[in-house]
Amino acid sequence: MMSASDMEQTPVQNLQGQFTRLQRRYQQFLDHWTPYTLNRWIATAGLLAIFMLRIVISQGWYIVCYALAIYLLNLLLAFLQPKFDPSLQEDLLADDAEEGTGSGDTSPLPSSRDDEFRPFVRRLPEWQFWLSATRATLIGLFCTVSEVFDVPVYWPILVVYFFVLFALTMRRQIQHMIKYKYVPFDIGRKARYGGK
């Protein structure tokens, strides 16, 4: 039986309620998948494989494929970069040294940036990377349904341009990693605290 408040709802309020329920379901779905990192990436790789298969079989939508590849490259670069850029911190330290603010300190705290532990904090966390990549792939798949996005282009130029862009940006990123001595991945055995 419906209450008086349910009968008084306008169609707009009804629509807002439906939208709120959909948002909750979507968030529950995402919360359920959060701990399954490997499964999430396997599902995204499967979506990418379906997308690439769609492009190869249909022989079209090269612009959509190129846009998705550039977007994924942008996400990868943000994933590999530290949140706090060491080159900017180095510039700030150099400015402070020129002003003489740090020269007279006899503090027992670590004086140089190499004396303290600094964990690697990503500019784009893994969860956001996965979520953005999955959404972009789904949007790319959706775009391959419409002929509007099937712009005729000479695809070998796009492929060559993407690989050149990938090589140049990754080279610059690797040089940055070497110069500032950071590794964006957990390599080796992780330390366990409090256990045997």
State the maximum Cα–Cα separation within the chain, in Å, rounded to a whole number.
78
Domain extent listing, the chain = 24-96+120-179
Q: Quick one: which of 172, 185, 190, 170 has its CA closest to 72? A: 170
Looking at this protein, which amino acid is placed at residue 63?
I
How would you write 118-185 as a 3-class SS string? CCCCECCCHHHHHHHHHHHHHHHHHHCCCHHHCCCCCHHHHHHHHHHHHHHHHHHHHHHHHHCCCCCC
> Rounded to two decimals, what is the model's pTM?
0.73
Q: How far apart are CA 186 and CA 175, in angstroms?
A: 19
Q: DSSP character for 117?
A: -
H helices of 59-123, where? 62-80, 86-99
Q: Which of 7-11, 34-38, 145-149, 173-177 has the lowest mean pLDDT?
A: 7-11
> What digits encode the pLDDT tens for the residues 28-81?
989 998 899 999 999 999 999 999 999 999 999 999 999 999 999 999 999 988
> What digits encode the pLDDT tens for the residues 75-111?
999 998 888 877 776 666 666 666 655 444 444 444 4
> What digits encode the pLDDT tens for the residues 108-144?
444 455 556 566 778 899 999 999 999 999 999 999 9
Q: Which two tokens stand for residue 137?
A: 């792939």
